[in-house]
Amino acid sequence: MIDLVIFGATGDLAARKLFPALYELEAARYLPSEVRILGVGRKPWSNEEFIQHLRQSLQEFQEPLDGEVAERLLGRAAYHSMEYTPEGFRSLAEASADSSLFYLSLPPDAFPTIGVGLGQAGLSEQTRGFRRLIVEKPFGEDLQSALSLQKTLTQYWDESQILRIDHFLGKEAVQNILVFRFANSWLEPLWNARYIAQVQITAAESIGIEGRGAFYDKVGALRDMMQNHMMQLLTLSALEPPPRFEADLLSNEKVKALRSARPLSPEDIVRGQYQGYREEAGNPQSHTETFAALRLYLDNWRWKGVPFYLRTGKALSRKNTTIALQFRDPPTQLFADSSIDPGSGWVELELQPKEAMHLEVQVKTPGLQFASRPVTLTTPTGNGNRLELSAYATLMLDALKGERSLFIRFDEVEYAWRLLEPVLHTPCPTETYSVGSEGPGGQHYLMEPHHRWRPL
């Protein structure tokens, strides 16, 4: 038997994300038959009460819901009530299987307690099966706290046992970045400083904090999005091809990209906060950023001199996650005496809300005049298959298999924090922007001459 032990099984993340993900795996018959779902919590529930909670969660958050699939999944479920004490962890050791995957669906301040408690109870030992620990983001709130948490966990857990989850990496569109880059022989030779003038990575959300003010006001956009999601999109866009698609080889190249980044200064960052945020957060003096934009350079052979612009924010004009690269101007005066504009063109990977590739090119304007106009060639990269697994389902299945390619190794976390550390604690004005806008105007001052942000 394999136990998927979910700490925080009575909480919101489990109800909204984990249980529907497990339903997907059950529906596709990808969930191994020997897997048991063991919910852990402090509530003194019986098995029947937990199963009823699981049933209600699926009814609320899983659409469509097949009753037969749901009952199969419920038949795997059990509950273990415990306090996070040595006695509680010993009781879990007696109740759980030799092979167990421990999912910490809990606030970050509980990670050290649970990680150490499991270790002291012998639940990190792999003498008769595997033991793995899934840790949700954020992994620390700055460099020092991340190093401290790592030191605490690795008292009992080997790095290969710790799976740091970033649900962005489970998305099909994000995984497609590597395929798009390295499986197309016409494109890969162009993906460098010789042909690329700038790179823009955007993760925009149209929603605000939606009742998460108490949490978000302690975090902000830099910690909530930039340190993890945006750094992952950066490294996948910029890394060198690993010799093979293996977890450690891929992480090696991501770390090399982060370590090549030029140190940031206050001039390289713009912070913003949408109007009305302070009322939502319940903090009239808050300077927490809901928008952050960075300009950075990777001083390596492939990207020397190419600015990377990263921005993420809430309450913007639309939901949009993209990676866009602008080609350099053609080195020719062929059209100098005509109305032809040899535009540099863009290639863009749209990750959200649609999965698509856009290629902007110049074509002749119809008619007698020798002039040009831009057109965009678009092709969807998703297949529209409703059976396609969600990000959490993909990551859950990989965790059960022990496949670590889509999880984050600690040195990736460390060097992302090291990159942001110079601007993380530096006082910086927070510019107010309107809800439904493109963000604060100050972001435009990050751009090098002749560069402009692409419209959301």
Residue 224 assigned to a binding site: yes
| Residue 218 known to bind ligand | no
- The full DSSP string for 277-289 is HHHHHT-TT----
- Six-digit token string for 173: 């569109």
CA distance 25 to 69: 10
205 is in an annotated binding site: yes
E-strand spans in 210-352?
269-274, 291-297, 307-313, 320-327, 346-352
Instruction: Identify which of 112, 44, 39 has the alpha carbon closest to the alpha carbon of residue 76.
Output: 39
Instruction: Please state, in angstroms and rounded to a whole number, the distance separating the CA atoms of residues 143 and 227.
Output: 11
Q: Is 2 exposed, middle or buried (0-12, 13-18, 19+ CB in 10 A)?
A: middle
Question: Per the residue annotation, which of 229, 425, 444, 451 is the catalytic one?
Answer: 229
The residue with tokens 């059950």 is 26
137 known ligand binder: yes
Annotation says 229 is catalytic: yes
Q: Is 254 annotated as a binding residue?
A: no
Q: How far is CA 139 from CA 101, 326, 424, 436, in A?
A: 19, 33, 15, 31
Q: How many CB atoms lie within 10 A of CB 415?
A: 21
Q: Check the annotation: does 314 bind a ligand.
A: yes
Over the range 97-130, which residues count as b (16 or more CB within 10 Å of their CB) and which as e? Answer: bebbbbbbbbebeebeebbbbbbebebbeeeeee
Both tokens assigned to 336: 């100098």
Residues near 443 by Cβ (< 8 Å), separated by ≥ 6?
A: 270, 272, 291, 293, 311, 453
256 assigned ligand-binding residue: no
Q: How does strand 307-313 pair with strand 320-327?
A: unpaired
Q: Which residues are annotated as a binding site for NADP(+)?
A: 42, 137
Q: Which sequence positions are flagged as catalytic?
A: 229
Residues placed in the known binding site: 42, 137, 167, 171, 205, 224, 314, 319
